[in-house]
Structure 1
Protein backbone atom coordinates (compact mmCIF):
# COMPACT_ATOMS: atom_id res chain seq x y z
CA UNK A 1 0.00 0.00 0.00
CA UNK A 2 1.14 3.51 -0.81
CA UNK A 3 2.74 5.34 2.11
CA UNK A 4 0.40 7.93 3.60
CA UNK A 5 1.44 11.57 3.50
CA UNK A 6 0.82 14.63 5.63
CA UNK A 7 0.19 18.23 4.60
CA UNK A 8 0.34 20.98 7.23
CA UNK A 9 -1.69 24.17 6.76
CA UNK A 10 0.58 27.03 7.85
CA UNK A 11 -0.44 30.59 8.63
CA UNK A 12 3.03 31.97 9.37
CA UNK A 13 6.67 31.34 8.62
CA UNK A 14 7.33 29.76 12.01
CA UNK A 15 4.75 27.03 11.27
CA UNK A 16 6.38 26.36 7.89
CA UNK A 17 9.72 25.64 9.55
CA UNK A 18 8.11 23.56 12.35
CA UNK A 19 6.18 21.50 9.77
CA UNK A 20 9.29 20.65 7.80
CA UNK A 21 11.48 19.94 10.85
CA UNK A 22 8.93 17.50 12.26
CA UNK A 23 8.31 15.37 9.21
CA UNK A 24 5.51 16.97 7.16
CA UNK A 25 5.50 15.99 3.48
CA UNK A 26 4.04 19.26 2.25
CA UNK A 27 3.05 22.72 3.43
CA UNK A 28 -0.09 24.59 2.44
CA UNK A 29 0.54 28.29 3.01
CA UNK A 30 -2.38 30.61 3.74
CA UNK A 31 -3.19 33.85 5.55
CA UNK A 32 -6.14 34.68 7.84
CA UNK A 33 -6.80 31.52 9.83
CA UNK A 34 -10.04 32.97 11.22
CA UNK A 35 -11.38 33.35 7.69
CA UNK A 36 -10.60 29.71 6.93
CA UNK A 37 -7.51 30.73 4.94
CA UNK A 38 -6.91 33.29 2.21
CA UNK A 39 -4.10 34.04 -0.27
CA UNK A 40 -0.81 34.53 1.61
CA UNK A 41 1.55 37.46 1.22
CA UNK A 42 3.94 37.17 -1.72
CA UNK A 43 7.02 38.11 0.34
CA UNK A 44 6.24 35.62 3.11
CA UNK A 45 5.72 32.94 0.46
CA UNK A 46 9.08 33.77 -1.07
CA UNK A 47 10.76 33.42 2.34
CA UNK A 48 8.93 30.14 2.98
CA UNK A 49 10.04 28.76 -0.38
CA UNK A 50 13.65 29.54 0.50
CA UNK A 51 13.32 27.70 3.83
CA UNK A 52 11.71 24.59 2.42
CA UNK A 53 13.00 21.47 0.78
CA UNK A 54 9.51 19.88 0.91
CA UNK A 55 6.67 20.96 -1.41
CA UNK A 56 4.87 24.26 -0.89
CA UNK A 57 1.28 24.70 -2.06
CA UNK A 58 -0.32 28.15 -1.93
CA UNK A 59 -3.95 28.99 -1.30
CA UNK A 60 -5.57 31.31 -3.83
CA UNK A 61 -8.61 32.83 -2.15
CA UNK A 62 -9.23 36.58 -2.29
CA UNK A 63 -11.40 36.72 0.84
CA UNK A 64 -13.23 34.70 3.45
CA UNK A 65 -16.94 33.98 3.16
CA UNK A 66 -18.54 32.13 0.28
CA UNK A 67 -16.85 30.74 -2.82
CA UNK A 68 -18.76 32.67 -5.47
CA UNK A 69 -16.48 35.39 -6.81
CA UNK A 70 -17.01 38.63 -8.69
CA UNK A 71 -15.29 39.25 -12.04
CA UNK A 72 -12.82 41.49 -10.25
CA UNK A 73 -12.01 38.79 -7.66
CA UNK A 74 -11.61 36.20 -10.41
CA UNK A 75 -9.12 38.45 -12.23
CA UNK A 76 -7.27 38.89 -8.94
CA UNK A 77 -7.02 35.08 -8.55
CA UNK A 78 -5.54 34.78 -12.05
CA UNK A 79 -2.93 37.44 -11.36
CA UNK A 80 -2.01 35.79 -8.05
CA UNK A 81 -1.45 32.41 -9.70
CA UNK A 82 0.89 34.02 -12.24
CA UNK A 83 2.79 35.91 -9.51
CA UNK A 84 3.24 32.81 -7.32
CA UNK A 85 4.33 30.69 -10.28
CA UNK A 86 7.31 33.00 -10.61
CA UNK A 87 8.32 32.06 -7.05
CA UNK A 88 8.40 28.41 -8.15
CA UNK A 89 5.83 27.17 -5.64
CA UNK A 90 4.76 23.54 -6.12
CA UNK A 91 1.00 23.80 -6.43
CA UNK A 92 -2.19 25.78 -5.81
CA UNK A 93 -5.27 25.38 -3.65
CA UNK A 94 -8.57 27.01 -4.64
CA UNK A 95 -12.20 26.35 -5.50
CA UNK A 96 -14.95 28.36 -7.15
CA UNK A 97 -18.67 27.61 -6.92
CA UNK A 98 -21.76 28.92 -8.67
CA UNK A 99 -24.67 30.56 -6.85
CA UNK A 100 -26.62 27.27 -6.97
CA UNK A 101 -23.91 25.40 -5.03
CA UNK A 102 -22.46 23.59 -8.04
CA UNK A 103 -18.82 23.67 -9.15
CA UNK A 104 -18.04 26.56 -11.51
CA UNK A 105 -16.36 24.42 -14.16
CA UNK A 106 -15.57 27.25 -16.56
CA UNK A 107 -13.70 29.40 -14.02
CA UNK A 108 -11.96 26.49 -12.29
CA UNK A 109 -10.76 25.08 -15.62
CA UNK A 110 -9.34 28.48 -16.53
CA UNK A 111 -7.34 28.66 -13.28
CA UNK A 112 -6.16 25.04 -13.56
CA UNK A 113 -4.93 25.80 -17.10
CA UNK A 114 -3.19 28.94 -15.88
CA UNK A 115 -1.49 26.99 -13.06
CA UNK A 116 -0.30 24.25 -15.43
CA UNK A 117 2.00 22.32 -15.10
CA UNK A 118 1.58 22.81 -11.35
CA UNK A 119 -1.05 20.61 -9.67
CA UNK A 120 -4.18 22.13 -8.13
CA UNK A 121 -6.19 21.07 -5.08
CA UNK A 122 -9.88 21.90 -4.82
CA UNK A 123 -10.27 23.16 -1.24
CA UNK A 124 -13.04 23.05 1.31
CA UNK A 125 -15.46 24.88 -0.94
CA UNK A 126 -16.27 21.20 -1.59
CA UNK A 127 -17.85 21.03 1.85
CA UNK A 128 -20.66 23.35 0.80
CA UNK A 129 -21.45 21.92 -2.66
CA UNK A 130 -25.03 20.80 -3.16
CA UNK A 131 -24.44 17.42 -4.80
CA UNK A 132 -21.32 15.59 -3.57
CA UNK A 133 -21.15 12.90 -6.26
CA UNK A 134 -21.83 15.23 -9.15
CA UNK A 135 -19.32 17.73 -7.75
CA UNK A 136 -16.65 15.02 -7.45
CA UNK A 137 -17.01 14.33 -11.18
CA UNK A 138 -16.98 18.07 -11.99
CA UNK A 139 -13.78 18.64 -10.00
CA UNK A 140 -12.08 15.70 -11.75
CA UNK A 141 -13.25 17.08 -15.11
CA UNK A 142 -11.69 20.47 -14.28
CA UNK A 143 -8.28 18.81 -13.96
CA UNK A 144 -7.72 19.07 -10.20
CA UNK A 145 -5.35 16.52 -8.64
CA UNK A 146 -6.81 16.54 -5.11
CA UNK A 147 -9.86 17.53 -3.05
CA UNK A 148 -9.43 18.83 0.49
CA UNK A 149 -12.63 18.07 2.40
CA UNK A 150 -14.09 17.27 5.81
CA UNK A 151 -16.81 15.17 4.18
CA UNK A 152 -19.26 18.11 4.29
CA UNK A 153 -19.36 18.13 8.09
CA UNK A 154 -17.74 20.53 10.54
CA UNK A 155 -14.94 18.04 11.15
CA UNK A 156 -13.45 14.90 9.60
CA UNK A 157 -14.78 12.55 12.28
CA UNK A 158 -18.39 13.59 11.63
CA UNK A 159 -17.75 13.42 7.88
CA UNK A 160 -15.94 10.07 7.98
CA UNK A 161 -18.61 8.07 6.10
CA UNK A 162 -18.79 10.61 3.26
CA UNK A 163 -14.96 10.71 3.13
CA UNK A 164 -14.77 6.91 2.85
CA UNK A 165 -17.39 6.99 0.09
CA UNK A 166 -15.51 9.73 -1.78
CA UNK A 167 -12.21 7.79 -1.66
CA UNK A 168 -14.02 4.75 -3.06
CA UNK A 169 -15.84 6.72 -5.79
CA UNK A 170 -12.69 8.66 -6.72
CA UNK A 171 -11.08 5.28 -7.42
CA UNK A 172 -7.56 6.76 -7.76
CA UNK A 173 -8.69 9.33 -10.34
CA UNK A 174 -8.13 12.11 -7.79
CA UNK A 175 -6.68 12.25 -4.26
CA UNK A 176 -9.27 12.74 -1.52
CA UNK A 177 -7.48 14.53 1.34
CA UNK A 178 -9.35 14.57 4.68
CA UNK A 179 -8.94 17.86 6.55
CA UNK A 180 -10.89 19.76 9.19
CA UNK A 181 -10.06 19.25 12.88
CA UNK A 182 -7.77 16.37 11.94
CA UNK A 183 -5.47 15.61 14.85
CA UNK A 184 -3.07 12.91 16.04
CA UNK A 185 -5.90 11.61 18.25
CA UNK A 186 -8.20 10.80 15.31
CA UNK A 187 -5.92 10.29 12.30
CA UNK A 188 -5.64 6.51 12.86
CA UNK A 189 -9.42 6.17 12.80
CA UNK A 190 -9.58 8.23 9.60
CA UNK A 191 -6.87 6.17 7.96
CA UNK A 192 -8.56 2.91 8.89
CA UNK A 193 -12.05 3.98 7.78
CA UNK A 194 -11.33 6.10 4.69
CA UNK A 195 -8.20 4.48 3.24
CA UNK A 196 -7.11 7.97 2.11
CA UNK A 197 -3.42 8.43 1.28
CA UNK A 198 -2.96 12.16 2.01
CA UNK A 199 -4.06 13.99 5.17
CA UNK A 200 -4.30 17.68 6.05
CA UNK A 201 -3.99 19.36 9.46
CA UNK A 202 -2.96 22.72 10.91
CA UNK A 203 -1.37 20.82 13.85
CA UNK A 204 -2.37 23.76 16.06
CA UNK A 205 -3.01 22.61 19.61
CA UNK A 206 -3.06 25.87 21.55
CA UNK A 207 -4.66 29.27 21.09
CA UNK A 208 -1.83 30.57 18.89
CA UNK A 209 -1.85 30.31 15.10
CA UNK A 210 1.37 28.30 15.04
CA UNK A 211 1.78 24.57 14.43
CA UNK A 212 2.96 22.37 17.28
CA UNK A 213 6.08 20.37 16.45
CA UNK A 214 4.98 17.59 18.78
CA UNK A 215 1.59 17.40 17.08
CA UNK A 216 3.17 17.24 13.59
CA UNK A 217 5.41 14.41 14.84
CA UNK A 218 2.44 12.58 16.40
CA UNK A 219 0.31 12.98 13.27
CA UNK A 220 3.13 11.55 11.17
CA UNK A 221 3.81 8.74 13.63
CA UNK A 222 0.14 7.68 13.55
CA UNK A 223 0.13 7.42 9.78
Structure 2
Protein backbone atom coordinates (compact mmCIF):
# COMPACT_ATOMS: atom_id res chain seq x y z
CA UNK A 1 0.00 0.00 0.00
CA UNK A 2 1.23 3.45 -0.94
CA UNK A 3 0.20 6.28 1.37
CA UNK A 4 0.74 9.86 0.22
CA UNK A 5 0.72 12.97 2.41
CA UNK A 6 -1.86 15.53 1.26
CA UNK A 7 -1.75 19.04 2.66
CA UNK A 8 -4.71 20.54 0.78
CA UNK A 9 -7.69 19.53 -1.35
CA UNK A 10 -5.74 19.66 -4.62
CA UNK A 11 -3.26 17.18 -3.16
CA UNK A 12 -6.13 14.92 -2.10
CA UNK A 13 -7.64 14.79 -5.57
CA UNK A 14 -4.26 14.41 -7.27
CA UNK A 15 -3.15 11.64 -4.90
CA UNK A 16 -6.11 9.49 -5.88
CA UNK A 17 -5.77 10.34 -9.58
CA UNK A 18 -2.03 9.60 -9.64
CA UNK A 19 -2.29 6.22 -7.91
CA UNK A 20 -2.11 6.53 -4.11
CA UNK A 21 -3.85 3.79 -2.12
CA UNK A 22 -4.43 5.95 0.95
CA UNK A 23 -4.00 9.57 2.03
CA UNK A 24 -2.62 11.05 5.22
CA UNK A 25 -4.30 14.44 5.47
CA UNK A 26 -1.70 16.59 7.19
CA UNK A 27 -1.36 20.33 6.54
CA UNK A 28 1.56 22.44 7.82
CA UNK A 29 4.24 19.87 7.10
CA UNK A 30 6.93 22.48 7.80
CA UNK A 31 5.80 21.91 11.40
CA UNK A 32 5.55 18.10 10.99
CA UNK A 33 1.79 18.32 10.48
CA UNK A 34 -1.15 19.93 12.28
CA UNK A 35 -4.81 18.83 12.55
CA UNK A 36 -6.61 19.99 9.39
CA UNK A 37 -9.70 22.18 9.41
CA UNK A 38 -13.27 20.89 9.45
CA UNK A 39 -13.76 22.22 5.93
CA UNK A 40 -10.70 20.48 4.52
CA UNK A 41 -11.58 17.13 6.10
CA UNK A 42 -15.16 17.31 4.86
CA UNK A 43 -14.18 18.33 1.32
CA UNK A 44 -11.47 15.66 1.18
CA UNK A 45 -13.79 12.84 2.26
CA UNK A 46 -16.43 13.96 -0.24
CA UNK A 47 -13.95 14.26 -3.12
CA UNK A 48 -12.22 10.85 -3.29
CA UNK A 49 -12.93 7.16 -2.86
CA UNK A 50 -9.63 6.07 -1.32
CA UNK A 51 -9.24 6.03 2.50
CA UNK A 52 -8.22 9.22 4.28
CA UNK A 53 -6.43 9.15 7.63
CA UNK A 54 -6.33 12.49 9.42
CA UNK A 55 -3.48 13.66 11.62
CA UNK A 56 -4.57 14.70 15.12
CA UNK A 57 -1.91 17.08 16.39
CA UNK A 58 -3.07 20.28 18.13
CA UNK A 59 0.28 22.11 18.02
CA UNK A 60 3.85 21.75 16.82
CA UNK A 61 5.63 22.46 20.11
CA UNK A 62 6.34 18.79 20.86
CA UNK A 63 4.69 15.37 21.12
CA UNK A 64 3.96 15.97 24.82
CA UNK A 65 0.36 16.92 25.61
CA UNK A 66 -1.46 18.40 28.62
CA UNK A 67 -5.14 18.32 29.61
CA UNK A 68 -6.00 21.26 27.38
CA UNK A 69 -4.39 19.55 24.39
CA UNK A 70 -6.31 16.38 25.20
CA UNK A 71 -9.63 18.21 25.20
CA UNK A 72 -8.91 19.59 21.73
CA UNK A 73 -7.68 16.26 20.37
CA UNK A 74 -10.76 14.36 21.56
CA UNK A 75 -13.03 16.96 19.96
CA UNK A 76 -11.04 16.66 16.73
CA UNK A 77 -11.32 12.86 16.75
CA UNK A 78 -15.08 13.15 17.16
CA UNK A 79 -15.10 15.59 14.23
CA UNK A 80 -13.19 13.09 12.07
CA UNK A 81 -15.70 10.38 12.95
CA UNK A 82 -18.67 12.61 12.10
CA UNK A 83 -17.19 13.50 8.71
CA UNK A 84 -16.61 9.88 7.71
CA UNK A 85 -12.83 9.70 7.34
CA UNK A 86 -11.16 6.29 7.49
CA UNK A 87 -8.89 6.88 10.45
CA UNK A 88 -6.59 9.04 12.51
CA UNK A 89 -2.85 9.45 12.92
CA UNK A 90 -1.77 10.09 16.51
CA UNK A 91 1.21 9.80 18.84
CA UNK A 92 2.25 11.01 22.28
CA UNK A 93 5.38 10.88 24.39
CA UNK A 94 6.06 11.43 28.08
CA UNK A 95 8.80 13.78 29.25
CA UNK A 96 10.97 10.65 29.54
CA UNK A 97 10.37 9.91 25.85
CA UNK A 98 8.31 6.78 26.37
CA UNK A 99 4.92 6.26 24.74
CA UNK A 100 2.37 8.11 26.87
CA UNK A 101 -0.08 5.49 28.16
CA UNK A 102 -2.45 8.03 29.69
CA UNK A 103 -2.81 10.08 26.52
CA UNK A 104 -3.15 7.07 24.22
CA UNK A 105 -5.73 5.42 26.47
CA UNK A 106 -7.82 8.58 26.61
CA UNK A 107 -7.67 9.17 22.85
CA UNK A 108 -8.38 5.56 21.93
CA UNK A 109 -11.44 5.60 24.17
CA UNK A 110 -13.16 7.92 21.67
CA UNK A 111 -11.89 6.46 18.36
CA UNK A 112 -14.60 3.78 18.05
CA UNK A 113 -14.04 2.04 14.69
CA UNK A 114 -11.51 4.50 13.24
CA UNK A 115 -8.28 3.05 11.88
CA UNK A 116 -5.37 4.22 14.05
CA UNK A 117 -1.80 4.87 12.92
CA UNK A 118 0.97 6.03 15.26
CA UNK A 119 2.98 8.82 13.64
CA UNK A 120 6.68 9.55 13.89
CA UNK A 121 6.51 10.47 17.56
CA UNK A 122 7.53 6.80 17.67
CA UNK A 123 10.87 7.72 16.11
CA UNK A 124 11.66 10.03 19.01
CA UNK A 125 10.98 7.46 21.72
CA UNK A 126 13.99 6.59 23.89
CA UNK A 127 13.77 2.92 22.82
CA UNK A 128 11.75 1.94 19.76
CA UNK A 129 11.53 -1.73 20.68
CA UNK A 130 10.21 -0.82 24.10
CA UNK A 131 7.74 1.55 22.41
CA UNK A 132 6.58 -1.11 19.93
CA UNK A 133 5.86 -3.59 22.71
CA UNK A 134 3.84 -0.93 24.52
CA UNK A 135 1.84 -0.05 21.40
CA UNK A 136 1.12 -3.74 20.80
CA UNK A 137 -0.99 -3.67 23.97
CA UNK A 138 -3.55 -1.51 22.17
CA UNK A 139 -5.65 -3.54 19.75
CA UNK A 140 -7.13 -0.41 18.16
CA UNK A 141 -3.71 0.65 16.85
CA UNK A 142 -3.03 -1.03 13.51
CA UNK A 143 0.04 0.70 12.09
CA UNK A 144 3.26 2.44 13.14
CA UNK A 145 4.87 4.95 10.79
CA UNK A 146 8.63 4.93 11.25
CA UNK A 147 11.94 5.80 9.64
CA UNK A 148 13.71 3.48 12.06
CA UNK A 149 14.48 6.33 14.45
CA UNK A 150 15.46 9.95 14.05
CA UNK A 151 16.92 9.24 10.61
CA UNK A 152 15.88 9.19 7.01
CA UNK A 153 14.44 5.73 6.38
CA UNK A 154 17.13 4.62 3.87
CA UNK A 155 19.75 5.25 6.58
CA UNK A 156 18.09 2.83 9.02
CA UNK A 157 17.42 -0.34 7.02
CA UNK A 158 18.72 -2.67 9.74
CA UNK A 159 16.60 -1.05 12.44
CA UNK A 160 13.50 -1.06 10.21
CA UNK A 161 13.94 -4.75 9.48
CA UNK A 162 14.26 -5.47 13.20
CA UNK A 163 11.09 -3.51 13.92
CA UNK A 164 9.21 -5.31 11.16
CA UNK A 165 10.32 -8.66 12.55
CA UNK A 166 9.09 -7.65 16.01
CA UNK A 167 5.80 -6.33 14.64
CA UNK A 168 5.19 -9.58 12.77
CA UNK A 169 4.76 -11.25 16.16
CA UNK A 170 1.94 -8.79 16.98
CA UNK A 171 -1.16 -7.40 15.26
CA UNK A 172 0.79 -4.26 14.24
CA UNK A 173 2.07 -3.33 10.79
CA UNK A 174 5.11 -1.16 10.10
CA UNK A 175 4.77 1.62 7.53
CA UNK A 176 8.09 3.04 6.38
CA UNK A 177 8.42 6.72 5.63
CA UNK A 178 10.46 9.92 5.95
CA UNK A 179 13.37 10.60 3.63
CA UNK A 180 12.21 8.27 0.85
CA UNK A 181 13.31 9.48 -2.57
CA UNK A 182 12.73 7.97 -5.96
CA UNK A 183 16.43 7.68 -6.82
CA UNK A 184 17.11 5.43 -3.81
CA UNK A 185 13.67 3.89 -3.29
CA UNK A 186 14.15 0.67 -5.24
CA UNK A 187 17.29 -0.25 -3.28
CA UNK A 188 15.54 0.59 -0.01
CA UNK A 189 12.39 -1.33 -0.95
CA UNK A 190 14.31 -4.44 -1.94
CA UNK A 191 16.18 -4.33 1.37
CA UNK A 192 13.08 -4.00 3.55
CA UNK A 193 9.94 -5.08 1.63
CA UNK A 194 7.55 -3.17 3.89
CA UNK A 195 3.84 -3.85 3.59
CA UNK A 196 3.10 -0.12 3.71
CA UNK A 197 5.09 2.78 2.26
CA UNK A 198 4.57 6.46 3.09
CA UNK A 199 5.77 9.30 0.83
CA UNK A 200 5.92 13.02 1.53
CA UNK A 201 8.28 15.35 -0.35
CA UNK A 202 9.70 12.42 -2.32
CA UNK A 203 6.45 12.27 -4.29
CA UNK A 204 6.41 16.00 -5.06
CA UNK A 205 7.68 18.37 -7.69
CA UNK A 206 11.10 19.66 -6.62
CA UNK A 207 10.85 17.38 -3.54
CA UNK A 208 9.18 20.17 -1.60
CA UNK A 209 5.84 20.73 0.12
CA UNK A 210 5.89 24.13 -1.57
CA UNK A 211 4.91 22.31 -4.78
CA UNK A 212 2.26 19.82 -5.81
CA UNK A 213 2.36 16.06 -6.26
CA UNK A 214 4.37 14.66 -9.18
CA UNK A 215 2.34 12.17 -11.21
CA UNK A 216 5.38 10.57 -12.84
CA UNK A 217 7.07 9.96 -9.48
CA UNK A 218 4.01 8.33 -7.96
CA UNK A 219 3.58 6.07 -10.97
CA UNK A 220 7.24 5.04 -10.79
CA UNK A 221 6.98 4.36 -7.05
CA UNK A 222 4.03 2.07 -7.74
CA UNK A 223 5.93 0.31 -10.53
CA UNK A 224 8.88 -0.38 -8.20
CA UNK A 225 6.56 -1.78 -5.53
CA UNK A 226 4.73 -3.96 -8.07
CA UNK A 227 7.90 -5.40 -9.61
CA UNK A 228 9.92 -6.21 -6.49
TM-score tier (shorter): over 0.9
* 2:205 is the alignment partner of 1:205: yes
TM superposition score normalised by structure 1: 0.94
* 2:96 is the alignment partner of 1:116: no
- Contact 2:25–2:36 (CA under 8 A) maintained in structure 1: yes
Aligned to 2:42: 46
Displaced runs of 4 or more, over 4 A: none
Q: Which of the numbers 187, 190, 194 marks the counterpart of 2:192?
A: 194
Structure 1 regions of 5+ residues with no counterpart? none
Rounded to whole Å, the distance in 2 between the matches of 1:173 and 1:194 is 19
Aligned to 1:153: 150
1:108-154 Cα offsets, whole Å, 9 max, x none, are 12212311211100000011000111100111113310000111133
Secondary structure at the aligned position of 1:63 is classed as: coil
The structure whose RCO (Cα within 8 Å, separation 6+) is larger is 1
Q: Which of the numbers 218, 221, 225 marks the counterpart of 1:219?
A: 221
- The alpha-carbon deviation at position 75 of structure 1 amounts to 0.9
Aligned to 1:169: 166
Secondary structure at the aligned position of 2:152 is classed as: coil
Secondary structure at the aligned position of 2:95 is classed as: coil
Secondary structure at the aligned position of 1:154 is classed as: coil
Aligned pairs (5 A) from 1:88-167: 88-143=84-139, 144-167=141-164
Rounded to whole Å, the distance in 2 between the matches of 1:99 and 1:142 is 21
1:65-104 Cα offsets, whole Å, 9 max, x none, are 3100111011100000001110000000010110000001
* 2:177 is the alignment partner of 1:179: yes
Rounded to whole Å, the distance in 2 between the matches of 1:75 and 1:153 is 29
Structure 2 regions of 5+ residues with no counterpart? none
Q: Which has the higher helix share?
A: 2
- The alpha-carbon deviation at position 20 of structure 1 amounts to 0.3
Rounded to whole Å, the distance in 2 between the matches of 1:45 and 1:31 is 11
- Contact 2:64–2:93 (CA under 8 A) maintained in structure 1: yes
1:169-210 Cα offsets, whole Å, 9 max, x none, are 111521100010213323322322222100000212324242
